[in-house]
Copies of this chain bind each other. A is one copy, B any other.
């Protein structure tokens, strides 16, 4: 990936600015590829993330703030996201009995089946996206990203 070529500029950028643009370009590319993988399943990246969080609960219900806390990208509308997942039959939502301010969200059998199907395909996509990296390079990259 050549930054200058992609944004079609021929002026030299300062290294910090170039680095930040580079990260944005890479992140966009990754997002696009993953969205493409999910598309046949008619599910968005965010909806998929919510389902994975719920699966990680191992049957224990999660309330909205728990989901929010664990999402990669912070959301202010997890309510509406869950609405969509309910429509698709992937989750159920009930009001918490002990504290009626809270809601309890659980993944359904259908949601779990969907996740299992996607898991394998996504794993392949992840390998494909990182095909040019040796394992040591992935460690190097993670170490550098830790500095943020």
Contact = CB atoms under 8 A, between A and B. Distances in A.
Interface residues of A, number: 51
Best-buried of A11, A18, A130 by chain B (most CB within 10 Å): A130
Contacts of A29: 148
Given A19-B138, A28-B74, 9 more contacts: A8-B70, A15-B138, A16-B126, A16-B127, A16-B130, A22-B141, A24-B73, A26-B148, A27-B27
A23 B145 CA distance: 7
A28 B11 CA distance: 26
Interface of A: 1-2, 7-9, 11, 14-31, 34, 56, 69-74, 123, 126-127, 129-130, 132-133, 135, 137-142, 144-148
Interface on chain A toward B: helix, strand, loop, or mixed SS? helix
